[in-house]
Chains A and B, each alone.
Chain A
């Protein structure tokens, strides 16, 4: 069987295809991926054979639901049985936020396919020929590796700052911002939020520094509407777009309406499932399961990312027919209180109802007991209207009690970690 990424050569305007045509095209890609995996990847061959799916095809979108769901640990345990046949040149590591990291392989053919949605997302965010983009390091993530290719193919220039996406490199980032005068910026949301705080604490004229920047594309943390406004206003940029994606192949970009991100359905097929593995209705939350549509690189068929997500219930006003999706968090960025899973995103949304608290880092505090009926959170900075904040938390999340720890002068860097142990802020034993 030959590599079938050539199917991507003739899909102009796919983001406007009618749903039926898009699903039919995706089913063809799924068939190729399943055949490829069965032929080349011992892990899937064995798994599917044991599930009685030894020669079952995947002729329609619905057929994919027959295949067992896999997770990261099963791939780590499979080792070379999974990696075999990847034909890939470059490996990236997942962040290891849910335990061990996983090496994911990207092939040149697959990258070529993923550059197309990167260009699409950048076009939605307003990037134009002749502009300069200050980009994340290409070694950070497989989607970041596609970014410089997308910019150059669009006729732009790429600039990179020295260091990594931690606050200790804020000076290097700002230095490049001054000299490169980029029109466009890609970064992580935790980094840009930390940068706002750093700039304000050090009296830096952030709007001046960001004057050339028309749009920021941020990844790594779901943005609340008020956080988006906060970044936009503090930096004086016209627009902030959220980009989503996983090393396992999910790729999501917002259009100008910002309501939910559009899934790039030419590269991935995403499902959102309940705890029994059944699809949830649009608008309801469930677990995000990814199938990559390219039969090359590391193969992911029905991979449970651990993310909590929901599809938008309505089509988008922008005219793109790709389904829209929001990722709200992961189990490790959530706590269970009174039997209910509460994400850090939801808590930020609630806390930010008070304008004075917008832009502050909010961390969930892990309950000491599973049966706890108290939602505990830590908020950066000085105390502000504790009674009203607790009341809002109790009302919104239906919990018996809420506790707020004000971190005062304790410095908390915005990061991907959103749940802490109470002992880290002086609570509990």
Chain B
């Protein structure tokens, strides 16, 4: 059972995550699956602008957590760039994008505005900068994603529930992967990490079988292309 013999403790908003080293394997594999749904392919370079104890960061590579044999980078056969989400570090990101060709940049929703502004400043400069695919990591308290002309993807990341769910580019719903999450009415259960069942207010619950998968799903009212305010 997750948490038994725990030697790794991550305080996240609303909870303390407890893992033994071996518990992390399945979550790194799951996160790599999420990125696959979002369109990332083997050999990619992924940069994550999040705090170090967000699963999106600490599952990034076996090199970041003891006992983790394969992190996301190892599953994807790619590279992982650590970008802390402090304001000081966000301002450095555009300069880094002129040095390294990044396929996808994962950004916490609450620093997206700052990063956008910094990217716009850099884009006015002379140095070439290849814009990566942007993946916005949303928490349950963040507003539902709205349509945007940029190359945006969305990943639901609620660390306290170990909820990581990608928004499918085909059906625009967030996929709750079968075998990891289960639905009991409108209540979501995490099958791989012991935490209280939870609901996602304002989301339409989709039963397994939608989008031709074994996953269940969540759809918010203000989806991609929807011009309504969230």
Which residues of chain B are within 8 angstroms of A83 by Cβ–Cβ distance? 100
Q: Interface readout for B27-67 with A: 1 if CB under 8 Å, 0 if not?
A: 00000000000000000000110111100011011111111
Which residues of chain A are within 8 angstroms of B66 by Cβ–Cβ distance? 148-149, 151-153, 158
Instruction: Tell me the chain A residues, 101-153 only, with Cβ under 8 Å from chain B.
Output: 101-103, 105-106, 108, 111, 132, 136-140, 144-145, 148-149, 151-153
Known contacts: A145-B63, A152-B66, A157-B9. The answer to whether A93 contacts B58 by CB under 8 A is: no
Write the chain B residue with the least CB distance to A138. B64
Q: In whole angstroms, what is the CA distance A115 to B184 when docked?
A: 45
Which residues of chain B are within 8 angstroms of A156 by Cβ–Cβ distance? 7
Known contacts: A158-B7, A164-B84. The answer to whether A179 contacts B67 by CB under 8 A is: no
Q: In the complex the two chains form, is B8's CB within 8 Å of A90's CB? A: no
Instruction: Tell whether B13 is near chain A: CB-to-CB under 8 Å.
Output: yes
CB distance from A87 to the nearest CB of B (A): 11
CB distance from A80 to the nearest CB of B (A): 9
Q: Interface readout for B90-124 with A: 1 if CB under 8 Å, 0 if not?
A: 00100110011000000000000000000000000
Which residues of chain B are within 8 angstroms of A88 by Cβ–Cβ distance? 79
Q: In the complex the two chains form, is B62's CB within 8 Å of A137's CB? A: no
Q: In the complex the two chains form, is A161's CB within 8 Å of B11's CB? A: yes
Would you call the interface of chain A mostly helix, strand, loop, or mixed? mixed
Contact check: which of B7, B21, B84 meets A137 at CB < 8 Å? Answer: B84
Instruction: Tell me the chain A residues, 179-211 only, with Cβ under 8 Å from chain B.
Output: 179-180
Q: In the complex the two chains form, is B83's CB within 8 Å of A152's CB? A: no
Q: In the complex the two chains form, is A102's CB within 8 Å of B99's CB? A: yes
Instruction: Tell me the chain A residues, 214-238 only, with Cβ under 8 Å from chain B.
Output: none
Q: In the complex the two chains form, is B95's CB within 8 Å of A101's CB? A: yes
Q: In the complex the two chains form, is B96's CB within 8 Å of A93's CB? A: yes
Q: In the complex the two chains form, is A101's CB within 8 Å of B96's CB? A: yes
Instruction: Tell whether A283 is near chain B: CB-to-CB under 8 Å.
Output: no
Interface size classification for chain A = 35 or more
Instruction: Tell whether B194 is near chain A: CB-to-CB under 8 Å.
Output: no
CB distance from B209 to the nearest CB of A (A): 37
Instruction: Tell whether B16 is near chain A: CB-to-CB under 8 Å.
Output: yes
Q: In the complex the two chains form, is A137's CB within 8 Å of B51's CB? A: yes
Known contacts: A138-B64, A139-B57. The answer to whether A96 contacts B79 by CB under 8 A is: no
Instruction: Tell whether A342 is near chain B: CB-to-CB under 8 Å.
Output: no
CB distance from B226 to the nearest CB of A (A): 32
Q: In the complex the two chains form, is A89's CB within 8 Å of B74's CB? A: yes
Instruction: Tell whether A52 is near chain B: CB-to-CB under 8 Å.
Output: no
Instruction: Tell whether B192 is near chain A: CB-to-CB under 8 Å.
Output: no
Q: In whole angstroms, what is the CA distance A248 to B10 when docked?
A: 28
CB distance from A264 to the nearest CB of B (A): 19
Q: In the complex the two chains form, is A158's CB within 8 Å of B82's CB? A: no
Instruction: Tell whether A306 is near chain B: CB-to-CB under 8 Å.
Output: no
Which residues of chain B are within 8 angstroms of A79 by Cβ–Cβ distance? 99
Known contacts: A90-B60, A157-B9. The answer to whether A139 contacts B67 by CB under 8 A is: no
Contact check: which of B7, B86, B89, B100 meets A103 at CB < 8 Å? Answer: B100
Instruction: Tell whether A378 is near chain B: CB-to-CB under 8 Å.
Output: no
Q: In the complex the two chains form, is A90's CB within 8 Å of B53's CB? A: no
CB distance from A266 to the nearest CB of B (A): 19
Instruction: Tell whether B85 is near chain A: CB-to-CB under 8 Å.
Output: yes
CB distance from B145 to the nearest CB of A (A): 23
Which residues of chain A are within 8 angstroms of B51 by Cβ–Cβ distance? 137, 139, 162-164
CB distance from B116 to the nearest CB of A (A): 19
Q: In the complex the two chains form, is A176's CB within 8 Å of B11's CB? A: yes
Which residues of chain A are within 8 angstroms of B60 by Cβ–Cβ distance? 90, 139
Q: In the complex the two chains form, is B73's CB within 8 Å of A139's CB? A: no
Instruction: Tell whether A92 is near chain B: CB-to-CB under 8 Å.
Output: yes
Instruction: Tell whether B80 is near chain A: CB-to-CB under 8 Å.
Output: yes
Q: In the complex the two chains form, is B53's CB within 8 Å of A145's CB? A: no
Instruction: Tell whether A76 is near chain B: CB-to-CB under 8 Å.
Output: yes
Which residues of chain B are within 8 angstroms of A179 by Cβ–Cβ distance? 11, 16
A–B complex contacts, Cβ < 8 Å, 8 sampled? A90-B63, A95-B88, A105-B79, A136-B52, A139-B48, A160-B53, A163-B51, A166-B87
B residues adjacent to A (C-beta < 8 A): 6-13, 16, 21, 47-48, 50-53, 57-58, 60-67, 73-74, 79-89, 92, 95-96, 99-100
